[in-house]
């Protein structure tokens, strides 16, 4: 069996406080366009990093500052890669547009009562979701001229909502929370009538503490979640999206990966190639893959490798880049971002 | 702010006699790393006063240290320098002490400011000492909530006030 290694390609310094999150621009890294990602931090700024095509090294191309007045908790590129949404503890979400290499704040979404923790675009780039410590999830419709209209305020979580993620192909929204639950939201009618269609919690083999993050596999029929309960859980559905006869195909628990991390798992991300990475407060990155060894009752997923001391402090976020040969980026409390290559 | 004293007659314990530190274990040269031990962590938290926690900041009703109130004791500090790990277990003076979260936040901030960044710190209330023990522990160890709290100027003022050394 080939021996895989997570090789550190580069350590990026620039943020002056913990780095909370990052997002690879989906429109980059192919057709000769250099890879780009955005990162956001407790230093209230967002940084844009671009790869040099000849050296393969990343450098900071822009710093987006003086807009958010508190920590920038999360950032997300629109599917076209033209707009960047940034969610902040200052209770706002800012929308930035790349105008000839300069980033301009073209819209500010206000409405949440306090810290906005996560932001996500749907697959077509027509809807945006945000969530907050105010326990609500908001859905915004993208209108012409960089206008955003709130079409639904979803109440259901009983504590702050840590992350929102749209399904990779369907307009179905997933949220996870300090209340230990994952909720699935869908528009079952046709008039912005968004409803909670499923709650994955302790009675469904769910998590027993804060759920920090979730991620989908490439086909969108599986989801992995990570938690303060030190476990990762894999979920699946029979049908992606709404069934032809109407009605929602529920998600069910497949397996729980336990005993790997010994502190809170803050982040998990599934690559197109089927490897999911986790980042945790134990400073380590772990990679997992489906276990193809056909042993009866064997584990469904196995640890591919563990990178100890990947950072000097907690790892808050991990994400694979798009494309054939993805790179992994990790963001940490140590104020740095690292770019990793999976090599054999 | 809370009006009226939450615990009007707290039990006051004598301060424990400090152990003299052995001078024989002085490092041979300046490059020797001296491990952080239980007493050192306790000392960091020792100058940590209740005067602003229990009420009116201008008129402190409990001019006692957390140690004198047995809110924290040396035994309740577990430290593993090799693993860069500290756990502090504190005991709120009354079961419904609404200030448990603030005390815990102060302990966390004090350690954040005093320890090397590689340290992992867990703060918890002593088992059975607080009515909403699990909820308090969960909040104190959610770093996103702690980060957000520490961007709140009023809360930071309160924490700084608590952490100010006393001059008795």
Domain holding B63: CATH number? 3.30.300.130
B135-163 tens-digit pLDDT: 999 999 999 999 999 999 888 888 887 77
Asked if residue B136 lies in contact with residue B149, where contact means CB atoms within 8 angstroms, the answer is: no
Residues spanned by the domain of B85:
35-166
Q: What is the pLDDT of residue A317?
A: 98
Q: How many domains, in total, are found in chain B? A: 1
Domain-embedded: residue B121: yes
Domain-embedded: residue B29: no
State yes or no: pLDDT of B38 exceeds 90.
Answer: no
Q: What is the pLDDT of residue A41?
A: 98
- Residue of B142, B154, B156 for testing the chain A interface, max A β-carbons within 10 Å: B142
From A229, which residue of chain B is nearest by alpha-carbon distance? B138
Domain-embedded: residue B2: no
The backbone torsions φ and ψ at residue A126, rounded to the nearest 5 degrees and listed phi first, read -100, -15
Q: Would you call A115 and B148 a contact, using CB atoms and an 8 Å cutoff?
A: yes
Q: Would you call B148 and A89 a contact, using CB atoms and an 8 Å cutoff?
A: yes
- The predicted complex's ipTM stands at 0.93
Domain-embedded: residue B84: yes
From A91, which residue of chain B is nearest by alpha-carbon distance? B148
Residue A21 CB: number of other CB atoms within 10 A?
Answer: 27
Q: Would you call B144 and A334 a contact, using CB atoms and an 8 Å cutoff?
A: no
Q: Which of B68, B65, B43 is nearest to B52 (CA)?
A: B65
Q: Which of A89, A117, A263 is the closest to B151 by Cβ?
A: A89
Q: Would you call B120 and A281 a contact, using CB atoms and an 8 Å cutoff?
A: yes
Give A18's contacts in chain B (Cβ within 8 Å): 147
Q: Would you call B144 and A73 a contact, using CB atoms and an 8 Å cutoff?
A: yes
**CB contact set of B51 (below 8 Å; sequence gap of 6+):** B57, B60, B62, B63, B161, B162, B166
Domain-embedded: residue B9: no
Task: Please give the helix or strand (H or E) that residue A131 lies within, else none.
Answer: strand A127-132
From B139, which residue of chain A is nearest by alpha-carbon distance? A178
Q: What is d(CA A145, CA A127) in angstroms, rounded to the nearest whole number?
A: 14
Domain-embedded: residue B100: yes
Q: What is d(CA A235, CA A227) in angstroms, rounded to the nearest whole number?
A: 14
**CB contact set of B4 (below 8 Å; sequence gap of 6+):** B55
Q: Would you call B147 and A71 a contact, using CB atoms and an 8 Å cutoff?
A: yes
Q: What is the pLDDT of residue A183?
A: 98
Asked if residue A96 lies in contact with residue A86, where contact means CB atoms within 8 angstroms, the answer is: yes
Q: Output the tens digit of pLDDT for each of chain A's 344 residues.
A: 568 999 999 999 999 999 999 999 999 998 899 999 999 999 999 999 999 999 999 999 999 999 999 999 999 999 999 999 999 999 999 999 999 889 999 999 999 999 999 999 999 999 999 999 999 999 999 999 999 999 999 999 999 999 999 999 999 999 999 999 999 999 977 677 899 999 999 999 999 999 999 999 999 999 999 999 999 999 999 988 666 666 778 999 999 999 999 999 999 999 999 999 999 999 999 999 999 876 677 789 999 999 999 999 999 999 999 987 899 999 999 999 999 999 98
Domain-embedded: residue B16: no
Domain-embedded: residue B40: yes
Q: Would you call A71 and B143 a contact, using CB atoms and an 8 Å cutoff?
A: no
Give A133's contacts in chain B (Cβ within 8 Å): 145, 148
Whole-Å CA distances, A266 to A42, A165, B47? 16, 15, 33
């Amino acid at each position: 069996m080939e021996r895989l290694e997570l090789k550190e390609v580069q350590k990026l310094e620039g943020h002056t406080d913990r780095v909370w999150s990052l997002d690879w621009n989906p429109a980059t890294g192919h057709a000769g366009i250099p890879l780009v990602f955005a990162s956001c931090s407790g230093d209230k700024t967002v940084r844009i990093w671009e790869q040099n095509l000849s050296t393969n090294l990343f450098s900071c191309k822009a710093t987006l500052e003086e807009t958010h007045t508190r920590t920038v908790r999360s950032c997300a590129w629109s599917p076209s890669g033209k707009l960047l949404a940034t969610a902040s503890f200052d209770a706002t979400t800012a929308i930035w547009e790349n105008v000839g290499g300069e980033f301009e704040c073209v819209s500010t979404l206000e409405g949440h009562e306090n810290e906005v923790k996560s932001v996500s675009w749907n697959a077509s780039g027509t809807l945006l979701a945000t969530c907050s410590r105010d326990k609500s999830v908001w859905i915004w419709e993208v209108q012409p001229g960089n206008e955003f209209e709130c079409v639904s305020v979803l109440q259901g979580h009983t504590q702050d909502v840590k992350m929102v993620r749209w399904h990779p192909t369907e307009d179905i929204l997933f949220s996870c929370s300090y209340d230990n639950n994952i909720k699935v939201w869908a528009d079952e009618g046709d008039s912005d009538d968004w409803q909670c269609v499923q709650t994955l919690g302790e009675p469904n083999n769910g998590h027993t503490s804060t759920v920090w993050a979730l991620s989908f596999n490439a086909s969108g029929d599986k989801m992995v979640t990570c938690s303060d309960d030190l476990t990762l859980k894999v979920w699946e559905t029979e049908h992606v999206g709404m069934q032809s006869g109407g009605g929602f195909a529920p998600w069910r628990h497949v397996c729980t990966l336990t005993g790997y991390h010994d502190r809170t798992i803050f982040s998990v991300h599934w690559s197109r190639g089927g490897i999911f990475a986790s980042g945790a407060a134990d400073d380590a990155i772990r990679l997992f893959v489906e276990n193809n060894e056909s042993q009866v009752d064997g584990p469904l997923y196995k640890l591919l490798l563990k990178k100890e001391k990947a950072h000097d402090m907690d790892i808050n976020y991990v994400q694979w880049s798009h494309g054939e040969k993805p790179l992994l980026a990790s963001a940490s409390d140590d104020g740095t971002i690292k770019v990793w290559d999976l090599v054999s | 702010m809370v009006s009226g004293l939450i615990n009007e007659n707290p039990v006051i314990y004598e301060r424990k006699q400090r152990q003299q530190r052995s001078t024989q274990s002085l490092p041979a040269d300046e490059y020797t790393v001296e491990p952080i031990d239980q007493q050192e962590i306790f000392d960091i938290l020792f100058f940590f006063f209740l005067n602003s926690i229990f009420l009116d900041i201008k008129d402190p009703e409990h001019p006692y240290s957390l140690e004198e109130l047995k809110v924290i004791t040396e035994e309740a500090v577990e430290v593993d320098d090799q693993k860069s790990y500290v756990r502090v277990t504190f005991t709120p003076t009354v079961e419904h002490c609404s200030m448990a979260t603030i005390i815990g936040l102060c302990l966390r901030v004090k350690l954040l400011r005093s320890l090397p960044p590689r340290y992992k710190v867990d703060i918890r209330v002593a088992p059975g000492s607080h009515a909403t023990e699990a909820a308090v522990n969960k909040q104190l160890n959610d770093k996103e909530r702690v980060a957000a709290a520490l961007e709140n100027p009023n809360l930071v003022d309160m924490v700084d006030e608590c952490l100010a050394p006393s001059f008795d």
